[in-house]
Amino acid sequence: MSIILETEEGWIISHAKYFDKVKVQPPQTFPSVSSSTPFEEGNSAYLKLNPDLFEITDPFKNQLIINRKPVKDDSKLDFSKTTLLVKGLYELVLNRPEAKRIFDEPEQISQCEEIIQETCERGVNLEESHELEGKGNFSNGELQPKRSNAKAVATARNFFDTVKGIQWPEFHGQNPSTEDAVMRVVGGCDTSHEFIFLPDTTFYCKDVSDLGKTFYDEEQRGEQFDVILMDPPWRNKFIRRKKRKQHEAGYQLIDDDGIAKLPINKLLKEDGIVVVWCTNAKSHQDALINEIFRDWNVKYLETWYWLKVTKSGVPICPFNIDNRKQPFEVIIIGTRQQNYLPLPINHDTPSNSKPKIVVSVPSSINSHKPPLIDVLRRRFKDKNFNRKCEIFARYLIPGFTSFGNEVIKLQHSSLFVES
């Protein structure tokens, strides 16, 4: 169970807690398991996601700086309606006594931040101030403390160095066990790479363009799902720049038309729900709700916001006034209704359902989103959750059919340690 606290406004969840005790069968049954795995006397081993992935102790950006001056009080800034909404939900959740007990005590204002404020008040150019020497790395008007989240960043970097040479073959399979995971190599991959296949999982390492012919035959009704979850690689300038900089392989960026062509209208059962991770770009959100959902015969239900925080409950970066980096991401949910005729929806217009916030410490690996199945079950108690599918999947979740061309990437054994 990933839910730590449930409130009227939303949930505080733990990604790490959801995978904190994975039972793996012993190597006598599956000899491909490396000898370094902590099996003893033929017993099963218990593994968990490496907690260093979530060792986010400091904001990645300490202060919001506008016109080269730190913002001491953001109450007068011209935030968008969405940003104000998320800030308000966050404050309501974090002000609850039970929420304060969940997070570590926040550190006092750092010496670096004090120096920044004093330097700006004296009118000295921050880049020319000698008082900041040795305190951190200063760039783009912001001071980044030395070794900020060093353990988490190093763990993510080591992971990418480990898997960067993998050429993913096309394959599919399942682990029908309801209790035990297995550790195996994958045919077509270097045998030095082993992966944890969680129980009760079905997986297809295929391009999403094969969704239709994999699940649905035009001559007879195919497989359908009660829940479809997806994190599409939306096309936008920031992501294109980041991929060029990192030279990181992965899902090819896809535009709105490409997402609309996914056969969700065939794969989603009547009254089933589709859950889509979206960018903060209003153009993408409006296209999803008013155009893509229409093509899928899906009615918009509500919007959630995933707020990424440090271990002390502080957002990983300041709330911003424009389309630059925000500490939250958007989750848009709809339900399948045959012959649904939608009316245009302005995403900023309040709907009958209240928006929700999901608060958690993020993984240091990009696109390693937290599992939402527990909160979805809590929110939609009247829905069926028997058949579940994730598209553009990067890791496996028990009870799910997972589909994508890097479907087990985040199941690499290097990401797991002894529980």
| Domains by residue range for the chain, with CATH | 3-54+151-418 (3.40.50.150)
According to the model, what pLDDT value does residue 34 have? Answer: 41
Residue 129 three-state SS: coil
Burial letters 69-83, b for 16+ CB under 10 A, else e: bbeeeeeeeebbebb
- The pLDDT of 273-280, averaged and rounded, is 96
pLDDT of residue 350: 45
DSSP-assigned states of every residue in 252-301: PPB-HHHHHTS-HHHHEEEEEEEEEEE-S-HHHHHHIIIIIHHHTTEEEE
pLDDT, tens digit, for every residue of 149-196?
999 999 999 999 999 888 888 999 999 999 999 998 887 777 779 999
Cα-Cα end-to-end distance for the chain: 16
Highest mean pLDDT among 79-83, 146-150, 331-335: 331-335
pLDDT at 239 over 60: no
Q: What is the largest CA-CA distance in the chain?
A: 75
Q: What is the pTM of this model?
A: 0.84
Mean confidence (pLDDT) of the chain: 83
* Segment 107-144, tens digit of pLDDT: 554 555 555 555 555 555 545 555 545 545 555 555 55
DSSP-derived letter for residue 398 is T
What integer pLDDT is reported at residue 205 of this predicted model?
A: 95
Residue 358 has pLDDT above 80, yes or no: yes
pLDDT at position 78, please?
75
More confident of the two residues 352 and 137: 352
Q: Which is higher by pLDDT, 116 or 275?
A: 275
Query: Are 144 and 112 spatial neighbours (Cβ–Cβ below 8 Å)?
Result: no
pLDDT, tens digit, 9 for 90 and up, residues 47-72:
999 999 999 999 987 767 666 666 76
> What was the pLDDT predicted at 32?
40
Q: Residue 399, by phi and psi: left (phi above 0), alpha (psi -120 to 50) or beta? A: left
Alpha-carbon distance of 144 to 387, in angstroms, equals 45
Give the pLDDT confidence of 386-396 residue by residue, as tens digits: 999 999 999 99
Q: How far apart are CA 153 and CA 145, in angstroms?
A: 14
**Whole-angstrom distance, CA of residue 199 vs CA of residue 34:** 20
According to the model, what pLDDT value does residue 25 have?
85
Sign of CA dihedral 408, 413, 415, 417: positive
Confidence class for position 246, pLDDT limits 50, 70, 90: very low
pLDDT of residue 31: 39
Q: How many CB atoms lie within 10 A of CB 134?
A: 7
Predicted confidence band at 315 (pLDDT cuts at 50, 70, 90)? very high
Closest listed residue to residue 105, CA positions, set 357, 310, 306, 358: 310
Q: Is the dihedral of CA 65, 70, 74, 76 positive or negative?
A: negative
DSSP output for 74-96: GGGS---HHHHHHHHHHHHHHTS
pLDDT of residue 38: 52
Q: Is the pLDDT of residue 309 over 90?
A: yes
Give the dihedral sign, CA 126/127/128/132. Answer: positive
